[in-house]
Amino acid sequence: MKKTINSSIPGLTKNAATVLEKRYLRRDESGTVLENPADMFRRVANTIAAADKKFDKKADLKSLSDTFYQMMTSFEFLPNSPTLMNAGRPLGQLSACFVLPVGDSMEEIFDAVKFTALIHKSGGGTGFSFSRLRPANDVVSTTTGISSGPLSFMRVFDVATETIKQGGTRRGANMAILRVDHPNIMDFIMCKADQKQLNNFNISVGLTEKFMEAVGRDEDYSLINPRDKKVCGSLNARKVFQRIVKQAWENGEPGIVFLDRLNRDNPTPLVGEIESTNPCGEQPLLPYESCNLGSINLGKFIHEDSIDWKRLRETIHQAVHFLDNVIEANNYPLQQIHDMTHANRKIGLGVMGWADLLILLGIPYCSEEAVKLGKKVMKFINDEGHLASQELGKKRGSFPNFKGSIFDTKGAAPMRNATVTTIAPTGTISIIANASSGVEPLFAVSYIRTVMDKNVLVEVNPLFEKIAKERGFYSKELMQKIAEHGALHGIAEVPVDIRNVFVTSHEITPEYHIQMQSAFQQYTDNAVSKTVNFSNSASIEDVEKVYMLAYESGCKGVTIYRDGSRDEQVLTTGKKEETVTAIAETPLEADRKAVKRERPKALKGCTHQMQTGCGPLYITVNEDENGLFELFTTMGKAGGCAASQSEAIGRMVSLAWRSGVQARQVVKQLLGISCHCPSGFGDNRVTSCADAVAKAIQNHMLDKGYDIDADTVVRHERGACPECGGIVEHEGGCSVCHVCGYSECA
């Protein structure tokens, strides 16, 4: 019998309960939910508290479990998703992120592929540096052949990730980093330009101080062959930097990581060099390290219009205790990861609800006051977090690699954890806590959500709704207007002081995004995961300015997203001299202008076979003298709903084409639609019959000589959640749906 989702947890929203039921709560083999949210939090609290037995046989586990339970159910602190999902369950894998080494041999590469599969199966994400791999066309002495280079092997990892199903709760995600002085760096920068490959990877270029200095002087810099560490060429630094910027402007990638800064703060330099990070970039790790993350909800620490520093201090110390216990309770996917994690004991305590805290204090996000307060808050968390780690070190001992670490100075206090603080994205756990994500500003004050029964709901930020009612300007009509408008700017019914405080990510200047990231980075051991949002009209120069500002202000990396850059594309069909662009007119205006083409008695076309989860689908595309005219579908041996729906799609596509709708619009609407039974993987993956039709149309245009710019082929709408259709927010270097909890990087 399904367990009721209603629980006694105050403040748990309906949306949070839905996300918990879908992704976190324990189920039996038939999928029946076996626990409610209160049960889940108690399961986690008991499991993590039990780790105290290893250090104190007389520990009061019941009292500690109650402390952890209260901390989580008050939403003052939440651990990362794998801990909530897996603590106290057979899988027992509690870490969010791992970094694996990729060596320059077939054995090492495919060991890494195997280890990646095991980690993704357990629910973790992985980061890699491919900088050790010799470049394409380099000599391979063992076979007297030539190397295929790092990009070819990245595709192997990508396909492996695509095939792994992570228990239905978390998707595989990867980070790929390549040093800017690798001979294949230009190919790497362009590797995701067509958005058709490596879609399970975030990519970042590892920049060095030498390179950035060469950019400033507009000089050439050396390329180094990793096989023999010899110089094998040179490139102009400024041109390479501008290519990185242009690609980021076009589709948000690659990001950049400042490698020398990561290693400047490497707490255990004698153990190894930091080469890569986790998928969202905030956690630099040595090979085989993992990190256990958790976030304090800052919005919960406002009392009588000021920050409750005393309660915040108590929560910081409890959270450090919790995260150190996670290291003991964890069931690691590899022995090497177990050993390295225990040797350095890195934890990452971060924050969420930063925008909420500013709103409650009446401070605009884009203000010097907010930046100054960000430094003060994060310094407090970092200082108290280190004190908590020292206290644990006195009781439990320092992390084993303490000797030779940055903490190993004369008269130094013990240190339990090599790192303590990290600002991670909090996409899903911030939904559970009903808090703003990480250190990001609000994504929207109000937005429209379509639920399963096609009802349209207006979702309103709870703080805004509360203030609107208190100030007497609340109405359902106003909330609807704000949702349609997208922000408060220009809404005269809302007082000016409220408009200034409730700013959204796209209203904040990129400079203030970077200033806030830099403020938190100044007092964070690891790194800060944050997305700098640009309007669609932003120029390439705007992006370059932000990348340079991130470097100059001490950030360890930066990710940008220009609104619409991944879903507003253009198809050019040279054969018919037809340029297909986004339709600017309204559907009504288009309908008035449409003139339906009459069907000739005979037409020529081609039939394309597409393998779907329902069986083979045969798609026939016919053309007249003006271009694509009609589409028919035949569904193999299948009948019933699958065949009828495919026929319906064919009829509607035919009607659209004959009425003047361009191929680009048809492809855009159908591509990426998902069903319960996808087929294939990698570039051959078909997510539904509708997706198959879209891909067949693209294939037909390519086969028939249409000039389709590979850089502009649409894959799927990144602006909409592929699971629920809700709004996708680009934050922390990832795409997150705040309706259902979907995360592209989780």
CB-based contact 278:99 (threshold 8 Å): yes
Which amino acid makes up residue 218?
Answer: D
Annotated catalytic residue: which of 282, 459, 717, 729?
Answer: 282
DSSP one-letter code for 135: P
Q: How far is it, in rounded angstroms, from Cα 564 to Cα 196?
A: 17
Q: How far is it, in rounded angstroms, from Cα 401 to Cα 399?
A: 6
Q: How far is it, in rounded angstroms, from Cα 381 to Cα 323?
A: 15
Q: Distance of CA 627 to CAs 582, 661, 696, Å? A: 18, 11, 16
Known catalytic membership, residue 137: no
DSSP one-letter code for 528: B
Annotated catalytic residue: which of 86, 278, 330, 434?
Answer: 278
Known catalytic membership, residue 280: yes
Q: Residue 636: which region, alpha, beta or left (left: phi > 0; alpha: psi -120 to 50)?
A: left
Q: Which two tokens stand for residue 534?
A: 């640009």
Helices within 472-572 (DSSP H only): 476-485, 496-501, 510-521, 540-552
Please state the three-class secondary structure of 43-73 as a single string: HHHHHHHHHHHHCCCCCCHHHHHHHHHHHHH
Q: How far is it, in rounded angstroms, from Cα 676 to Cα 612?
A: 11
Known catalytic membership, residue 278: yes
Q: How far is it, in rounded angstroms, from Cα 64 to Cα 629?
A: 69
As a dihedral over the C-alpha atoms of residue 718, residue 719, residue 721, residue 722, rounded to 10 degrees, the angle is -40
What's the distance, Cα to Cα, between the start and end of the chain in Å?
30
Q: Where are the beta strands (DSSP E) in 77-155?
A: 77-79, 97-99, 125-129, 139-140, 145-146
What are residue 381's phi and psi, to 5 degrees? Answer: -65, -45
Listed in sequence order, the residues at least 6 apart from 204 whose beta carbon sits closer than 8 Å to its beta carbon are 175, 176, 177, 253, 254, 255, 256, 257, 277, 281, 557, 559
- Any idea what the Cα angle at residue 150 is, between residues 147 and 152, rounded to 5°? 80
Q: Map residue 366 onto helix, strand or coil.
A: coil
Cβ count near 539 (within 10 Å)? 11
What are residue 741's phi and psi, to 5 degrees? Answer: 90, 5
Q: Which two tokens stand for residue 40?
A: 């889940």
> Considering only CA atoms, which of 601, 638, 605, 639 is closest in space to residue 620?
605
Annotated catalytic residue: which of 191, 280, 734, 740?
Answer: 280
Residues in the chain: 746
Q: Which two tokens stand for residue 23?
A: 């992704």
Active-site residues: which are they?
278, 280, 282
